[in-house]
Structure 1
Amino acid sequence: MIKGAKLAQVAKAKYSIGELIHHRLFGYRGVILDVDADFQLSPEWYEMVARSRPAKDKPWYHVLVDQASHSTYVAEQNLEADLSGEKINNPMMNDYFTELRGGHYITDRKAN
């Protein structure tokens, strides 16, 4: 359960579950699976993977990657909205979402 300041940060997150995004640095599209108020992975992961050294105290997103079979973890500063309205092609889509409606994926999962 998210409390206090973390809840306020999640409320200030720019993107929400089901939104289509585009990664500014790597050019891929995706859909938001979940939102963390701040960085939640290990310091080792950050050192190895987060080469642009984005802020750890800002929102981070779990993203299903288009034209791939994996998800990734991305800092908000590296994302921008994808307004194409085009479907995401990832074999895990049906595990999380029921349909694409108005450029936003719909889920019946409960938010954490």
Structure 2
Amino acid sequence: MSSESDSVPAKVSRSARYRIGQVVRHRVYPFRGVIFDVDPTFSNTEEWWNSIPEEVRPVKDQPFYHLYAENETSYYVAYVSEQNLVPDDTGEPVDHPEVGEMFGDLRDGTYHLHAELRH
């Protein structure tokens, strides 16, 4: 006889590959940014999810990152799956105007939270 636990998929515990303050870039699209928050799994609207073309739509069961993002022409907030991010190794600062409100100095590819924001 099978128990209830046999029919319920086990939750996979997974930690985020990237951290708050880290500078990353998108694997496909030409933008980069600073991570300011992380969701352990997809936590946006279905409308947003369905707006992504199916052939490039990432899986939901992975960390998603909130970025202060920039490209050649604008600044914005991006929501990106872990599979679509890579570390940015340029060492260049991110010019997004909100970076300075949350973070201090950029050292070794990572911005450090202002002391009053640290837990």
2:97 to 80, 86, 91: 91
Superimposed CA distance per residue, residues 23-53 of structure 1 (whole angstroms, 9 cap, x where no aligned partner): 01102111111111000011111111x3321
Q: Which runs of 5+ in 1 are unaligned?
A: none
Aligned to 2:87: 81
Aligned to 2:42: 39
Q: CA deviation at 1:58?
A: 0.5
Superimposed CA distance per residue, residues 77-106 of structure 1 (whole angstroms, 9 cap, x where no aligned partner): 110011111100111111221121222100
Secondary structure (helix, strand or coil) at the match of 1:105 reads strand
**Alpha carbons 1:34, 1:63 under 8 Å: kept:** yes
What pairs with 1:23-34 in structure 2 (closer than 5 Å)?
Answer: 23-34=26-37
Kindly name which structure, 1 or 2, has the bigger radius of gyration based on alpha carbons. Answer: 2
The TM-score with structure 2 as length reference comes to 0.78
Q: Which runs of 5+ in 2 are unaligned?
A: 1-10
State the identity as a percent: 37
Secondary structure (helix, strand or coil) at the match of 2:33 reads strand
**Alpha carbons 1:98, 1:107 under 8 Å: kept:** yes
Secondary structure (helix, strand or coil) at the match of 2:47 reads helix
The TM-score with structure 1 as length reference comes to 0.83
CA distance in 1 between counterparts of 2:59 and 2:18 reads: 16
Secondary structure (helix, strand or coil) at the match of 1:56 reads coil
